[in-house]
Structure 1
Amino acid sequence: MRTLGRREQNKARIRDALVTAARELGQQRGLENVTAEEIADRAGVSRRTFFNYFAGIEDVVAAGLAEPLQRLAEALHRRPTAEDPLAAIAAALREQPIGAEVLLVWGPVASPSTPQRHVLHLRLWQHHERWLVGVLRQRLGAGDELRVRSLAAAVMALFEVVQEDWASTTAGLDADAAMTAFNSELLRALDHARAGWQEPPPSP
């Protein structure tokens, strides 16, 4: 493994400090109420340094989520290439469930809707949909772009519906129980999609 030089180590340290500062401030009052200046100040760097590393707050969050999402992508790529895409995604989620570092550490789960929150959410959503398109393009190939992009859009829509319902029902649950509930519902939504949203047969 290549050893980082002093300059690279310093850059990594500043980057990590900015991500940690954003996470802490987001937990306190929601990222939509946090500025780049406040993140930089908590990290002990200048506003200019912040923008040397990140274009905006959504990029800080994306950096903080890169590692768990990469683990999920790797789990998906390990699935058999002929496997149904939704089945492969579900299997990858069983191997690498969505963790608290993705949904619980960046701010209050059920924060009130505000224009600032909506804009930040939209930017993050667009970033992660582009990420998912890239992951699926690697798995499925770029021959049918409509297939790739429509699958990504469908999975993102399922995630959003599950997250909205889950956020309203997690009060009183600890982090482990909340994330178990989220992943269970996300897998259930994927099962509905795989079945074409048909009514399940009655129990015998």
Structure 2
Amino acid sequence: MTRTPSCVLPSLRDRKREQTRRAISAAAYAIVRDEGVDAVTAEAVADRAGVSRRTFFNYFPSVESVITASVSDFFVALSARLQERPAGEDVLVSVLAVVDDPGDLSLVERIGVLATAGETSPHAKGLILAEFHTWLDWFEAWLRERVGPGPSDLHVATLAAAVLGCGEASIRVWSKAVVAGEQPPAFHVVLAESLGHLRSGLLAGTPVA
């Protein structure tokens, strides 16, 4: 029987470290969701994650970095969902499918919660937007692969920025309504509407697949 070389598989130590890192990141997100971004301290995150304060700083150098990690984890998951879509599918159909799929709603609502935190904390908002634009490089490469060699680099870059702009616009509208005490539609509904405007208006007559 052929054995898979042990060097290919992560060690038990590496798996445990990743589990701990994810637990700390998830704890930070839960505090933002339940109590707001101002409640995120090293002590609070460590306590909710069931680790020591020292362990927290072994994984994250600052409170800001754990908030950033929570946003980054969202984009890693979002990228994986997009990669799973059929290769020949229209790109906006792919994006909307991820947004509308009940199995993916927790991903979209996660960024909505973090965005609400950004409305009450300019610093947190800056961290979130920085991750948004870091992800843009990956998304542009994904679009280029999907649309093929026909559209120009500028066309693909414009489309990537436009889709990202839909996300930012949805975040602003949705989170401001939440902070104002209103009851807007679920965040994924707002994002789907924004992407619909992109297709019916801004992209009228433009090939995207």
Q: Please, what TM-score do these two structures have when normalized by structure 1? A: 0.69
**Cα distance change of structure 1 residues 74 and 186 upon mapping to structure 2, 3 Å threshold:** farther
1:49 pairs with 49, 52, 58, which one? 58
Deviates more, 1:149-158 or 1:35-44: 35-44
**Cα distance change of structure 1 residues 94 and 119 upon mapping to structure 2, 3 Å threshold:** closer
Is residue 195 from structure 1 mapped to residue 204 from structure 2 by the alignment? yes
- Whole-angstrom CA distance in 2 between matches of 1:116 and 1:97: 27
1:93 pairs with 92, 95, 118, which one? 95
Equivalent residue runs for 1:34-183 within 5 Å? 34-35=40-41, 38-43=44-49, 44-45=51-52, 46-51=55-60, 56=65, 57-75=67-85, 78-80=86-88, 88-97=90-99, 99-105=104-110, 107=113, 110-111=116-117, 112-140=119-147, 144-168=152-176, 171-172=182-183, 178-179=186-187, 181-183=189-191
Q: Equivalent residue of 2:82, what SS? A: helix
The Cα offsets for residues 86-130 of structure 1, whole Å up to 9 and x where unpaired, read as xx2221134322644234336366454432133223212222222
- Whole-angstrom CA distance in 1 between matches of 2:41 and 2:141: 30
> How large is the RMSD of aligned CA atoms in angstroms?
3.6
**Cα distance change of structure 1 residues 63 and 110 upon mapping to structure 2, 3 Å threshold:** closer
The Cα offsets for residues 19-39 of structure 1, whole Å up to 9 and x where unpaired, read as 211221111233466345643
- Whole-angstrom CA distance in 2 between matches of 1:69 and 1:132: 8
**Cα distance change of structure 1 residues 148 and 38 upon mapping to structure 2, 3 Å threshold:** farther
Aligned-residue sequence identity (percent) comes to 24
Q: Please, what TM-score do these two structures have when normalized by structure 2? A: 0.67
The Cα offsets for residues 155-177 of structure 1, whole Å up to 9 and x where unpaired, read as 1112222332334557446xxx6
Q: Which runs of 5+ in 1 are unaligned?
A: 198-204
- Whole-angstrom CA distance in 2 between matches of 1:31 and 1:113: 8
- Whole-angstrom CA distance in 2 between matches of 1:154 and 1:37: 39
Q: Equivalent residue of 1:134, what SS? A: helix
Q: How many residues align?
A: 185
Equivalent in the alignment of 1:17: 23
